[in-house]
């Protein structure tokens, strides 16, 4: 990681991204904000599974062990040396405080050691860049549905780097609802993907769960839906769990897609973009594709690996931020509650 010999020139476009905001330790090298040369994701799922969720202290310790090996692997796979980098970009927030600190301290130390610029990246903005990494430059304006374990928001993007928050969840995030329902029906952690798989074998019309705030603007609410599902399971133990999973997923996706479609129509979007871990959900992807086809909109769906936390999206957002704002000060703090820089 500390190369000897003559200073390599690189092409001035390589950004190393580092991500440690939750339970994935990730590092990636991306050229010019668009070509992924490497993307390493070290998942901590096994460490947290026995506790049924992410344990912040365990996450921080695991990031400490995994961060430098992830960086080494990403550089090696990209066949690049630290001093060739145009910048090191890192998620500074939002996320778990102790987890963020590990990535931020690692990025600052490496930036100092290699003499390359340091760029602070907002994790939510990074998710928004995942689609453009795979689809190329987006034809704006687009409506992006950003759905993860911590966030559920509809974002209007008219110009690169400028975001208008149309609405967000008033209580639980969509991913949180998937995880809590999954846990309640015994699917363990992480629940979203397991619930997705179980739902594929069930009847989505078996139970008519509520569609909270459907047709009422762009705010979301998932806590009542989650409670309705857990209550149903207690009161109707005879209902097959696959039917419960499918019916819950149907209700959640109905709301997510319904509001996204309404926003696209009302504001005149050219496309719909999905971002965040829940964007890996099979039904959400299928329904979004159907809506886009019907309405003549571009469907911007990152691959599943790009939807969940990774560092390639951090590097892409970092490249863009470097060009628009320049490097960030080395005393930039980790900010657990950082908001999307909305207008
Ligand atoms: O973006 P992400 O990797 O991390 C956060 O920033 O939160 O999102 C993780 C969330 C978890 O709640 C996980 O259960 C959910 O995304 N998720 C899914 C699926 N894959 C991941 N939810 C539903 N269906 C999936 N296939
Ligand atoms: Zn995320």
DSSP per-residue letters across 291-340: HHHHHT-EEE---HHHHSS-SHHHHHHHHHHHHHH-PPPTTPPP-TTPPP
| Confidence label for 161 from pLDDT (cuts 50, 70 and 90) | confident
Distance from C-alpha of 289 to C-alpha of 311, rounded to nearest angstrom: 26
> Which atom of ligand 1 is closest in space to residue 182's alpha carbon?
14
For residue 277 and ligand 1, the question of a CB distance below 6 A is answered with: yes
**317-337: average pLDDT:** 96
Ranges 93-97, 160-164, 298-302, 326-330: which has the least confidence? 160-164
Instruction: Give the number of the ligand closest to the Cα of residue 125.
Output: 2
Angle at CA of residue 79, ends 74 and 82, nearest 5°: 70
**270-299: average pLDDT:** 97
Distance from C-alpha of 78 to C-alpha of 59, rounded to nearest angstrom: 26
The strand pair at 118-122 and 35-43 is best described as unpaired
For residue 327 and ligand 1, the question of a CB distance below 6 A is answered with: no
pLDDT digit string, tens, across residues 25-46 = 999 999 999 999 999 999 888 8
| Confidence label for 343 from pLDDT (cuts 50, 70 and 90) | very low
For residue 191 and ligand 1, the question of a CB distance below 6 A is answered with: yes
Residue 4 has pLDDT above 70, yes or no: no
Which mutation among 56, 103, 129, 149 tests ligand 1's pocket best, with the greatest number of atoms within 8 A of CB?
149
Alpha-carbon distances of 208 from 105, 215, 229, rounded to whole Å = 49, 17, 10
The torsion defined by the Cα of 155, 35, 314 and 166, in degrees rounded to 10, comes to 0
Longest CA–CA span in the chain (Å) reads 71
To the nearest whole percent, how much of the chain has pLDDT over 90? 85
Distance from C-alpha of 295 to C-alpha of 137, rounded to nearest angstrom: 21
**75-98: average pLDDT:** 97
**149-156: average pLDDT:** 95
**269-281: average pLDDT:** 97
The pLDDT assigned to 145 comes to 98
Distance from C-alpha of 278 to C-alpha of 174, rounded to nearest angstrom: 7
pTM over 0.85: yes
Neighbour order of strands in the sheet with 87-93? 35-43, 24-31, 14-19, 87-93, 118-122
- One-character DSSP codes across 28-61: EEEETTTEEEEEEEEE-HHHHHTTTS--HHHHHH
Distance from C-alpha of 27 to C-alpha of 17, rounded to nearest angstrom: 5
Ranges 47-61, 70-84, 285-299: which has the least confidence? 47-61
Ranges 137-151, 205-219, 245-259, 265-279: which has the least confidence? 137-151
For ligand 2, the distance from its centroid to the CA atom of residue 235, given in whole angstroms, is: 34
For residue 175 and ligand 1, the question of a CB distance below 6 A is answered with: yes
The pLDDT assigned to 342 comes to 54
Distance from C-alpha of 123 to C-alpha of 104, rounded to nearest angstrom: 12
The pLDDT assigned to 10 comes to 63
Q: What average pLDDT does the chain have?
A: 94
To the nearest whole percent, how much of the chain has pLDDT over 70? 97
Residue 3 has pLDDT above 50, yes or no: no
Cβ-contact 120, 41 below 8 angstroms: no
Cβ-contact 271, 292 below 8 angstroms: yes
Q: Residue 149 in 3-state DSSP?
A: coil
Which mutation among 153, 175, 253, 282 tests ligand 1's pocket best, with the greatest number of atoms within 8 A of CB?
175
pLDDT digit string, tens, across residues 300-312 = 999 999 999 999 9
E-strand stretches of the chain: 14-19, 24-31, 35-43, 87-93, 118-122, 142-147, 152-159, 162-168, 271-275, 298-300
Closest to 144 measured CA to CA, from 18, 19, 298 = 298
Cβ-contact 45, 25 below 8 angstroms: no
For residue 193 and ligand 1, the question of a CB distance below 6 A is answered with: yes
């Amino acid at each position: 990681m500390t190369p000897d010999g003559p200073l390599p020139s690189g092409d001035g476009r390589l950004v190393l991204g580092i991500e440690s905001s939750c339970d994935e330790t990730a590092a990636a090298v991306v050229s010019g904000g668009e070509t992924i040369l490497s993307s390493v994701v070290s998942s901590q799922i096994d460490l947290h599974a026995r506790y049924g969720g992410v344990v912040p202290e365990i996450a921080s310790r695991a990031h400490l062990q995994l961060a430098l090996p992830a960086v080494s692997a990403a550089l090696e796979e990209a066949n690049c040396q630290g001093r060739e980098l145009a910048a090191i970009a890192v998620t500074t927030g939002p996320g778990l405080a102790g987890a963020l600190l590990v990535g931020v301290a690692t990025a600052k130390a490496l930036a100092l050691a290699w003499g390359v610029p340091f760029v602070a990246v907002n994790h939510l903005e990074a998710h928004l860049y995942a689609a453009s990494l795979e689809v190329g430059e987006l034809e704006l304006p687009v409506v992006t549905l950003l759905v993860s374990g911590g966030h559920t928001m509809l974002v209007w993007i008219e110009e690169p780097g400028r975001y208008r928050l149309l609405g967000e969840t008033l209580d639980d995030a969509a991913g949180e609802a998937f995880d809590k329902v999954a846990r309640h029906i015994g699917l363990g952690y992480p629940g979203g993907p397991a619930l997705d798989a179980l739902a594929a074998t069930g009847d989505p019309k078996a139970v008519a769960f509520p569609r909270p705030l459907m047709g009422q603007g762009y705010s979301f609410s998932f806590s009542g839906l989650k409670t309705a599902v857990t209550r149903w399971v207690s009161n109707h133990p005879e209902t097959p769990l696959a039917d419960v999973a499918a019916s819950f997923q149907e209700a959640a996706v109905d709301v997510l897609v319904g509001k996204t479609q309404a926003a696209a129509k009302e504001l005149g979007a050219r496309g719909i973009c999905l971002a965040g871990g829940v964007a890996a959900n099979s039904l959400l992807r299928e329904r979004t594709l159907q809506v886009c086809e019907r309405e003549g909109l571009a469907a911007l769906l990152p691959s599943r690996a790009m939807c969940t936390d990774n560092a390639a999206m951090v590097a892409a957002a970092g490249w863009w931020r470097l060009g628009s704002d320049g490097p960030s000060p080395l005393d930039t703090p980790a900010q657990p509650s950082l908001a999307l820089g909305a207008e």
